[in-house]
Structure formats: structure tokens, C-alpha cells
Amino acid sequence: MVYIENGILKQGSKLFTKGGFNRPEAQLRHKLSNRPDATYKFSLHDESTWNRYHVYLCRACPWAHRVRIALKMLNLEQKISFSYVEDKKPESTGWKLAGLDPAGTGKSYLYEIYQQTPNYSGVITTPALYDKQHKQVINNESADIIRMLNECVGGDWYPEKLRKEIDEVNERVYPTLNNGVYKTGSSTSQESYSKLVTELFDTLEWLEGILKKQRYLVSNTQITEADWRLFTTLIRFDTVYFTLFKCSKKKIEDYHNLSNYLRELYALVEDTVHFDSYRGHYYDGFPHLNPSKIIPRGGAPEHLNLPHDRDRFAYDASHFKQRDVKGAFKRSESEFREQISEDGDYPPAKDRYHLYIADNCPWCHRVMVARALLGLEKVISVDKVYPIRDGDQGWAFKPEKSSYEGEYTADTVCKKTHIPEIYKMLGKTGKTVPILFDKKRMEIVNNESSEIIRMMNQKLRRFGHEKVDLYPMSQRDEIDELNEYIYEALNNGAYMAGFAKSQEAYNLAYEKYFDALEALNGIFRVRKFLTGDHVTEADVRLFPTIFRHDHVYHGRFLLNKKFVKDLKYVREWLDRMLELPGVADNSSIEHSKLGYFSNHGNGVVPLGPEWKVGGTLEKE
């Protein structure tokens, strides 16, 4: 290895000492700026600064890779020239330029480029930002270069509102992971190696935890410099660092969120990735780790070609929190919130609890779907009201309107004619369904659909399909996040559009609703259900909204940008849901249309659309 001292080429290494690997600070830190009076000026608005600079890169080098990505993603490839050194580095001369130098220096080696910089002493590294006007390297610190390029073009890699979070991530990722792989691989004692490899994998676990909750490292919607600084390490990890540097506890492929995150970023910059160069450089260039210099075969890790699932974070729940705008619909809170519990007034029991529901109501629909999936049809009894409400009297029991047995029922428990009478007998003025009712105490337990679903799963499924778990422990955080996101944008979002009293309120709800549908289409491109291969509570809560969209919400709530039938992956998920036991039997689009349209406008119920929900699976 070689370095430069006062402009003179010297033999030896500044990187490896008896204590292991020590990366020296970059010596050249001149600042590139778009200010008119800057010594080293670069501006998108001043063509005289275009092609003034050249960047020397190495395909294998993760630090140079950062800059190559910046040139691509900031659209600078035609304004700042760049070239690569050869993959293998001769011991006696250091990096050799690959062919004729496009910067016009006439030099053959990178050390000769550095020697043009007056009195330079230090290592000969890439990236090297070269000023063709002053004929010298002005900066060889990758972190500086990518940030300067971003600032010069007004990019969003380091937004002011996220700088604190970006800096915090960088400060942990650099020493323990970016540089940590080198320090681990070059450890000179078992004790040192054990400490470093533990810190390294602690950081990977920390990153996995972050990416479980959000799409990128500091944001759900924005890729920043923190992501690209991490990417160049992750993309080399399984191919090089895992084996050569003995960072071998787990591969990136073994981390669900890190691997999917890596695949998303890889798809954006695939043409900057060179796996053959990585293997060739590392296995040849670290003889103390690979004395034979045999280069392993193999291509890109196979998982990189699989679809990613990061679209599930296209919008976070806070993005959908409805602003308090004039004319916005506001849903009242449910009043009865008691819980079924072993040591409470309402213990788990078979045939003790009863449901009052309306088939057209999406909140009732989710409860009935959960009841079917959990096998509780013989555990919790049901009465069904007629879909068209009796004005101020509200939901009514009208069994005489049934066209088949059980379509609508009488009140078999309280013997009332209307739902508000059930509330009134308990001294309340409520009128909503669903209602979970205790037949022993003759009391309303709960009228919040989300809590009824949860109680059925947690407290009553022992009496039905006990092996079905709609809220598995390992997925609860993700389910809770999805529930919030789906409620704000879709479940309640449909009503925010449909019952808006101002154009502003409608527009806001409309945009958020269809943003969420597009995000779901991305999720279902790679997942059978919202959290993976099995249906969960999140799917149950989403289902009634998607089920109603084409035939009800599209026209009734003016959510007319797209039909679900035109969203390929959402439609396929809807079909899968309807194939689950009992789901189609508890889903009626005709009842939904009757309920939504009969009490609105002229009361006419539309005949179309002609297609059936879920293809051929909709119940006639």
C-alpha cells in the first residue's frame, strides 16, 4: 500500500496498525458552494460551473458509492463528470485510472492526481472531488461531498426539519456499521472482534426495529442522506462482509425489514451496484484475511430481485389525521366500553352474549366477519335490523320484510321494535349498532366495533376456532399501526368525503382516501394479507370499506377517482377475503346499497355497477 507525504509517494499503510484498522480523517475538506463569491462554485443556474469538477470513484468502495448515488439521484451526471479506477489496486502504486483520464490530466494513477494538490500528505482514497480549474483535489470526504452536492442543487437529502434525526442515525451507523465492518474484519484479537461484532449486530437490530415502524430511517415519506449512507454498507454485506470480515451472525437477507428496505433502494440505483467488483476488490485487496486471493463465485444476492413490501408505509397514520377544517364530518365516540374479562362483570361464556347489527353498516360488517372467522356463530347470537332506518326512530326490527329466513329478525332478547328503545331502557339516548349485549345481566356491554372484535378474539374464541388468532402477539404493533392508518384514511375517511359540508373538507378526504388505496395496492402486490400470509384483525377492519367501494362509496360518497376492480392487487385481496369461511355469507352488497341510497336524495337505489364484488363470489 502507498500514501503521500508532502507530495512524495511513500510505501506503507496508514490504515492498518498493530491495534487493527484505523481510518484516518480526510485531509481535503474544501467546500463546494452555489454562492456567487465562492472559491469553489457550483450552481445549476450557472452553466460555467458545469463540468468544472470531476469525481474519481472506485466501484468497490462504499464511500465512493455514496457519491455515485448522489450524482444519479440529484441529476448531476451530465454536469459533474466522473470516472472509475481499476478494481484491483497494485501494492506499489495504489489505484490505477481505468483508461484515459476524462478530467484531462494526462495522468495514469490516482496518486498523481493527489500530487497536484500542493503539499498534500495523507492516504490516496476515493472519492476524490477534483477541480479542473485549479487542477487539484479539493475534497476527499464522502460525507462532505454528498452534503455539498445536495446543498448546491437545493436537494432534500438533508432537510432542516429532519437534521437532528439524520445526525443521530449517522452518528451511530458510521462507527458501528459503515466503518464497523472494517474494524470487525481487521480485529487483531478475539476480545476485540467479539466486542465489535456485537456492536455491529446491535446496530442492525436497532435499524430493523426502526424500519419495522417506518419506511425510511428518519421518515415515512422521504429518503435522506442517512438512508444512502447505510445502503452502501448493506448492499455489500451479504456478498463480502458476512464471509470475508466474519460479520457472520446473520445476513441482511435474514432481516425482514432491512432486506425489504434494501430491495426498495436497490431498485432505484441498481445501475450503480457492481457485485463482481466488490468480490474482486475485497478478496484480492485484503491478503491478511484471504491469503490465497481466491475470489468466490456468485452474482447478486437472489433476494434483491424479489418484490419489496415497503409500500405498506407509503403514508403513515398521522398523514391521515383529519384537519379541523370547516365542514368536516366528526364521528361521535362510542358510549359503552365495558370489557369481557375473567374477573369482571362480563366473564367469557358461551351463549351469554348477543349482537344487534345492520347488514348495511360497515362497523357491524366487520364484527360479523370476525364472528364467522372465529367460529362463534353458535356462541354469540344475532338479531338483524332492516337496512332502511325509520327516520327519528332509527334502526327498526322488521322481520316481515325478509325475502329469505334470517335476512331481518325481530328483537329476540329485549323484545323492542327499534334500537333506540334498547338504549332507552338503560337510561341512555343511543341509537347506533353494533351492540354487544349481555343476556344474563340484560345490559349493553359495548357498542364500539373495534373493541367487540378484539374481545371476541381474545376472550371468546376458545369456544370456537381457538387456533384462529386475528391479533397474534408477534404482529400486534404492526396491526395497531395498520388499524390506525386504515381507520383515518379509509374506514372513516369514506365518511369524511361523503358527509363533508365544504369543498375543502371533501377534497382533503378524497385525496387521502385514494392515496391510501394506492398504498394498499402496493402492499398486496407482495402480501396475501396486510401483515403476511394470514388474515388478521387489520384485514377484517379494512374489508367492509373495500367491499362497499365500487357499488356504494364510488357514487354515494363521490369517491369516484377509481374502482377497486381497477386496482389489481386490492381486488385480488378482496377475492381472497371472500373465499374465507363465512365471509361471503355475511356480506351483502344489496343490503349495503339499500341502506346507503334509500335515505339519501331521491331515495332511488342504483341498479349498477353490473359487476359483482369479488368476481363470482358475491352472494346473490
Residue pair 199/176 in contact by the 8 Å Cβ criterion: yes
ω into residue 307 within 30 of 0, thus cis?
no
Distance CA 291, CA 207 (A): 34
In total, the chain counts a number of residues equal to: 620
Distance CA 156, CA 170 (A): 16
424 SS3 class: helix
Distance CA 353, CA 439 (A): 6
Query: Catalytic one among 58, 61, 247, 364?
Result: 61
Residue pair 233/178 in contact by the 8 Å Cβ criterion: yes
C-alpha cell at 430: 343511543
Residue pair 406/493 in contact by the 8 Å Cβ criterion: no
Does the active-site annotation cover 364?
A: no
Distance CA 511, CA 495 (A): 13
Query: Catalytic one among 84, 130, 182, 261?
Result: 182
97 SS3 class: strand
C-alpha cell at 469: 388468532
Distance CA 551, CA 543 (A): 14
Question: What is the full DSSP assignment across 390-404?
Answer: -GGG-SB--GGG-SS
What end-to-end distance do the CA atoms of the chain give, in Å? 78
Residue pair 571/565 in contact by the 8 Å Cβ criterion: yes
User: Judging by DSSP bridges, how do beta strands 136-139 and 128-131 pair with one another?
Assistant: antiparallel
Q: Which residues of 399-410 are buried (b: 16+ CB within 10 A; e: fewer)?
A: beeeeeeebbbe
Does the active-site annotation cover 182?
A: yes
Rg (CA), the chain: 32
Phi, psi of 81 (to 5 degrees): -75, 160
Beta pairing partners, 555: none
511 SS3 class: helix
Q: How far is CA 15 from CA 97, 182, 192, 246, in A?
A: 21, 10, 17, 19
Contacts of 114 (CB under 8 A, 6+ apart): 4, 120, 122, 124, 128, 137
ω into residue 434 within 30 of 0, thus cis?
yes
Whose CA is closest to 389, among 420, 424, 413, 354?
Answer: 420
Distance CA 367, CA 2 (A): 71
Catalytic residue list: 61, 182
